[in-house]
Amino acid sequence: MNDVKFSIEGSSVSVSKGTSLSQIVPDVKNGTRPVFARVDGAIVDLDWTVEDDARVDWIYPDSQEALDILRHSTAHLLAQAVLDLFPGTQTGVGPAVENGFYYDFLKDTPFTPDDLGLIEKRMRELAEEDFQINKETLDKDAALRMFREMNHDLKEELVQEKGGDKVSCYRQGNFIDFCRGPHVPSTGLIRHFKIVSVSGAYWKGEEKGKQLQRIYGTVFFSREDLDHHLELIEEAKRRDHRKLGTELDLFSFHEDLGAGLILWHPKGGAVRRVIEDFWRDEHFKAGYDLLFSPHIAKLDVWKRSGHTEFYDAMYPTLESDEVEYELKPMNCPFHIMVYNSRQRSYRDLPLRWAELGTVYRHERSGVLHGLMRVRGFTQDDAHIFCRPDQLEKEIQGAVRLALSMLKTFGFSEFDVYLSTRPEKYVGNPEDWVTATKALEDALRSVGLEFREDIGEGVFYGPKIDIKIRDALQRSWQCTTVQLDFNLAERFNIHYVGEDGGNHRPFMIHRALLGSLERFFGVLIEHYNGNFPLWLAPVQIVILPIADRHNDYADRLNARFIERGLRSQVDRKREKIGYKIRHAEMQKIPLILIVGDKEVQDETVSPRIHTIGDKGQMPVKEFLEKVDNLVENKSLVLDL
């Protein structure tokens, strides 16, 4: 018998061995046809041939998997266009990324804006030619020889490092690339794309590596989706936290200070204080204690923790009294030292210790980006030491606390990932199974849908990553909950069990907001600088119409400040219209206009930013409403 059976969408189908999926792909369904398939869980091209019984699920253009494959295929189209236009250019890597794709190129001269236009035009011409995209499997030696003859040193290096005995390549027209695929069937399916920018990149991300040029683009299956995304890109430029940070006087960078180091201005500092106070209050409620640790430690600490061996973002060492010290890149060893400062009993656990600890990481200059990627930042760090029977409950608590806090800041959409044991790991397999199951059960218990990243855990333990979606549907990494078998062993931590013997506790690393700097940058862009009342750096500005109204404005201001509100008086001798425009440009939520009538009646006339005047009201009524909005951390300002 040469027939094999497929289970396709609930039906059993018999086909001959050697049949390609393209021969049995169904007719148009809801206006579209499948563009890929998932065979026994693995995504494949439609030219995949049937050899054994399998389960087949069709993948349609409206799925995320299909969009990711389209993006990667468009990266190949970009590379084909560049090589056509600029012979001698070498290609690096070209993956799909969120909202688009990129490809890295080694070229003697920089790409110009005119070049990008020519490249996009050539891509459209190649798409119109509708080249079939076919997989070719070569012996490794043949693949190396092919790229060597093409003078593609970078690609030859990739094949040497990542290729197996058989090397997967994809060809379209005169272009061939080392790639595992899958890809769209032909270039004719790549229609709605746009080249958006070019930047520098290092080969393999190594700062001492070759300097490449990275061309970014975006692509969708429909013109409507592309146009919508391009509108979001323009809106993102308007919301850029670096631009708003200057306009709203929140923070600054200075060349004399050093790259990636931030100065928080009074207004930015006010928001940070609110975030930190809220963070501390929520942690105390959740049963955490606070720790404080120094900014440096002896180099031996970092050798023992493994950072000097595995972590490449360490600053150069400092020397004092013939002893070498290191700026801390993480807080973990300090918390472990506190744990080891005395003997611990099973009755002491769990221990939940949190710290707003400032750390220093020597990020490459090319990846620094405003508040989002810096060299000195404060991490909302915590470590939980617990017994095996407490593990699942502690993970649940960490995830629930994260969701509660993120929702309070106005985030309601999350992308969640569970990363499991990689090929190289520390600890014993039984602990990995226990830890991974605890992470999975915790996610299910709080009702979070998640993707499982097989083998993508860090070497020291499995982890949960929670990314938030902002107002522009961009994804930002915030929460991470990680199990650590490495430091627990390196620092020999234990507790005395009920049986009187020493036992190794589980150690949980967790950060909820990530770094305060990055989280602040996300908040700025999410709200376009229009912070909700409880977070706003200045909550109320009082605008006296004339000098004779200043005393009343000052009395109001003192009353507001006494109640803990962030209020100020604009005493500039300007027309009231100018003062209002200035307050609106500063995005102050509540503007109080004070004139003769307000002084006489002892009232206020609030104006809500972007909404308008709300009419006169007694001061007591105004304060009650404002206090209620702030206390409840309302995201909507409505008096």
Q: What b-and-e string marks burial along 136-166, b requiring 16 or more CB atoms within 10 Å of the CB?
A: eebeeeebbebbeeeebebbbebbeeebeee
Asked if 228 is an active-site residue, the reply is no
- Please name every residue paired with 39 in a beta bridge, in sequence order, or none if there are none: 42, 56
Asked if 160 is an active-site residue, the reply is no
Asked if 361 is an active-site residue, the reply is yes
Active-site position among 332, 431, 467, 549: 332
Write the DSSP symbol of residue 245.
H
Distance of alpha carbon 467 from alpha carbon 480, whole angstroms: 9
Question: Tokens standing for 507?
Answer: 């150690």
Active-site position among 45, 381, 484, 570: 381
Active-site position among 152, 328, 344, 361: 361
Asked if 379 is an active-site residue, the reply is yes
Structural element, H or E, at residue 517: helix 516-527
Active-site position among 463, 510, 566, 587: 463
Residue corresponding to tokens 């031996």: 300
Q: How many CB atoms lie within 10 A of CB 581?
A: 12
Distance of alpha carbon 465 from alpha carbon 415, whole angstroms: 8
Contacts of 15 (CB under 8 A, 6+ apart): 3, 4, 6, 24, 50
Q: Give the strand pairing for 414-419 and 463-469.
A: antiparallel
Which amino acid, 447?
Answer: G
Active-site position among 509, 510, 518, 549: 509
Distance of alpha carbon 346 from alpha carbon 336, whole angstroms: 16
Active-site position among 80, 172, 213, 379: 379
3-class SS string, 547-567: HHHHHHHHHHHHHHHHCCCCE
Asked if 381 is an active-site residue, the reply is yes
Q: What b-and-e string marks burial along 526-559, b requiring 16 or more CB atoms within 10 Å of the CB?
A: bbebebbbbbbbbbbbbbbbeeebeebbeebbee
Distance of alpha carbon 477 from alpha carbon 18, whole angstroms: 44
Active-site position among 383, 387, 421, 518: 383
Which amino acid, 497?
Answer: G
Asked if 152 is an active-site residue, the reply is no
Report the catalytic residues: 332, 361, 379, 381, 383, 463, 509
